[in-house]
Structure 1
Amino acid sequence: MSTSPSASLIAAASAAAGHQQFPGGTLYVVATPIGNLADLSLRAIHVLGLVDAVACEDTRVSAQLLRWLGLHKPLVALHQHNEQQAAEGLVARLLAGERIAYVSDAGTPAISDPGAVLVAAAARAGVRVMPLPGASSAAAALSVAGDARAQGFRFVGFLPTKSAERRAALQALTGAPYSQVLFEAPHRIQELIAELAELAPEQTLTVCREVTKQFETIHTAPCATLPAWMAQDKQRERGEFVLVLHAAPAPVGEVGLPEEAQRTLRVLMRDLPLKQAASLAAELTGESRKALYQLALAWKQDAGDDAEDEPDTGAGALSG
């Protein structure tokens, strides 16, 4: 960060965002780069130039960023040890009409970083809070995990450090139908990989190391294989880690169909004829239409209902 950007960067930021309104008495929650300065948005640069003060997790880190931008702003420390007290003073300034930005050391504030207490205090006081989105290691990891099976995601962050609590937390993660984003320190990454290999060997894990930085590494594989992969290169243990534990494979139920496909079929059968319900369920889930039809027929028969469609055999039968 030793070289300041040219005036053209500041001009570009003004051209891109200058036509927008950035009212006084507003808290601007500004995402900053997680390792690559090029990820700082033009709108963030413009707002950092407009505000009256910058509240930040670490004044040394934020001062370095501002120097790189050629900006000089009063800095106010707001971190996990003083957030409540610092928030009160900042809210008073906001109520007086000042523009104040909040930045954490890297990424989007209030996501495993300070900022939530300040935002809550501002909201209680009736102060407008405006997000300036940008870099987020959690979002970056999710975007490259490729967990197409997931039914949404959950942000976990750092696990407990005490052994018993950590083990219980890890056990609670396994088997979920959604992606789960974890952070881990380099001195504990081997332990975490080994524990996941034991507790969820068949689940997939995406390991993201040094995201956006020069030695970025992204590797996706079953948890059971990852301790050996990690041991192949000591460099893989170094840096900052974001991990995505993929959704667990759906349990297989009757006639080899996943439970999610069976639930979809049951819902459709409430209002549709069997063949139509099976065909639509196959389209929605990607499962075999024939298998879905046979299951629907079996359910009808078990319930003592007359089948409303002809058996799925012969010409014109549904295919897989």
Structure 2
Amino acid sequence: MPAVTADTLTLPRLDAAVGRARTIKSVTRGPQAHEGEGFPVTRAFAGVSYQDLDPFIHMDQMGEVEYAPYEPRGTAWHPHRGFETFTYMIDGTFLHQDSHGGGGIIENGATQYMTAGAGVLHIETPPESLVMSGGIFHGLQLWINLPAAKKMIDPAYQGLNGDDVKLISSQDGGALIRVLAGEIGGFVGPGKSQTPMAIAHITLAPGASVSLPWNPMFNALAYTLAGAGTVGEEGPGTNTAKISTGALTVFGHGDRVVFTADETQDSRHNSLEIFLLGGLPIREPVVAYGPFVMNDKAGVIKAMEDYQYGRFGQIPDDAIQPFHHRH
């Protein structure tokens, strides 16, 4: 799981986090499914109430899968309205193109934001070279809600390289923290979203523990990408829970979040890998239907009509398409 890595002993250090450790509200596991043309995903937020997720809507872990030659799959052109997508590629390569002129390559620790806003058509697909060769493919796609006042803003695109990520370490150097978006302990990541939030990918060495300051106004969610450990802290008014690959932790209120890696990890990753996210709740009604996330049913019907009448823009003349090998 390369993403972006560094020697933690050479990085800036987080100050010791103060205040109350957040309690553990729930630990759940999402079901496996297939998306687009058939790539395997884990529906990370399945079964969790929107009140706990707000301002987030949906998250898929794409892979982790090792494809044989000709197996990689993507999505065909499809619409979105009313939210932003955040895509993080840990392993492998995705091509992105949209009807608003956005596009690029997302690979090896890179992130990408697409603000769908009033409406956009886009595609995400592995390049021909990856389809031909096969290989490891692993990433995350997160849907971030937009408040009613911003649902119909102009679409926008940000492509960020892995090198843009802000790298910091825990107080003792046992954890590498990649700040992908927002601010954690005074360190700011490159991603800029319409909804205030923070996102990080944390790698903890076996036996390491980290306590991160977390905006008390934000919710806090942690998805376990790999490894095993504990969330939370023992003490009066706090609790802990065990986590392992595929677990989503919902935290309660507090000032900081705590993770501890087990002393023994599986040999394939040899670390506890956490995708940590949280944002300012929007607290508005949500009606989601497929790729449309609106405030009411009328908004969804209007989105479907606008899409059918071509009001989301046009697929570009130079559009990339899913590569299918012809035997």
Return the TM-score normalized by structure 1. 0.29
The structure with the greater share of residues assigned to strand is 2
The structure with the greater share of residues assigned to helix is 1
The answer to which structure, 1 or 2, has the higher relative contact order (CA under 8 A, 6+ apart) is 2
